[in-house]
Structure 1
Amino acid sequence: MTNQREMILHELRRSRQHLSADELHERVKKLMPRISLATVYRNLETLSAAGIITKLEISGRQKRFDYDVREHDHVYCVRCHRVDNIELDRKQVEQERSMTTDGYRITGYRVEFFGICPACQKQRKKREEEEKMGKQAGDSQAISAEQKQILAALANAANPYGSKDISAATGLDTKVISGQITALKKQGLVDSPVRCKYAATEAGKKIIG
């Protein structure tokens, strides 16, 4: 166990993560500035061959190294490439290891899961909420002056309004009102709780304040 290997092993164990050679090199060179990536990789291979650490080869991705050498399985994030441990009941598989399949005698196995980690899920949810808010803001800006007049009249009305009622409140022509009502309904800002009469939805009320 050389000084370099001790330092690499210490950093891997301290991280408690599944790091690549590149990631370990970035950590180790802060303590040993002259150490090269090739040296880190060569020592990781040596430690892996000695059974002191485990080498992971996940879905053809960059090799990662695990400080935990006990038998266990992993889950891989397809977005940020994070790797975590996952606990499975291996008893059933262990009982079948001696079975022969298509001429093979099973001597070992590896289970690999992939998905989206909690941090990436949180980021995606935040991004979707921001996009939703942006869309709502865009919809608000797209409302014309005539549509705002109609929404204001409907929002202030005690009961649903017909086209003539809206015309009387806004001074707009009934033909114009009919076209604008159709557009507002498509945006979910107006509904028709009574046949041929209209009311502003909660979304419509929010737009006009």
Structure 2
Amino acid sequence: MRKKGTVVRWDGERGFGFIRGADTVADIFFHIRDYAENRHPVEGMGVTFDEIHVGGKGPRALKVEPIRNTIQAAEALREDPNAVILPRAKVAPRSTPPHQSKREQQLLWGTIALMVFWLLLWIIGIALGRFPTIPVFSSLIILNLVTFYLYMRDKNAAEEGQWRISENQLHGLALMGGWPGAWFAQRVFRHKTSKASFQAAYWATVALHLVGLLAWLIWPAFQSAPAS
């Protein structure tokens, strides 16, 4: 049986919120992927939903749908008790603007070029004897797998309303060399991609890591240069 309730909290950045109903004991968690509309929900919106319980984590709402024009109807009826509220027309899905798609493609190819440059620096360092081969590649693989896993874990924690992994920890892993794994995790899980401050800090760690790696490679050349 479908239940009715009101959205009492919505976190647009993390994509989840809570619903409160007259016949529910606790507020009910729901995620954006369980919301049936193209537009994001807003606090105070009336909704209908199916309630489930999963493994002692509390109630969860599925197939969340807005009660048509609940907010607009309340405002209109306050102004005019005889107002007639018509059903809201469904909004067609928005297509990605051409300029945005082009920018995303440029970012994709730019990031791939950075990864190739990054791998090239490590290979040059190994060839020059600056880094041991097996320990370096083993450490890089493990570091990026750990980074990818922690992004996945943080995404799940955000959806379930559990304890989050700090952004400083994620940035620290990227700075140490886990930034490729972080980039792939952001795209696979659609996590942290819309938060401008996080993205700015992330790309700053990428730049610092590449500059530090490049400086480590060329530093012996400056030390061995004859003094004028």
Q: TM-score range by the shorter chain?
A: under 0.3
Greater share of helix: 2
Larger Rg: 1
TM-score (norm 1): 0.21
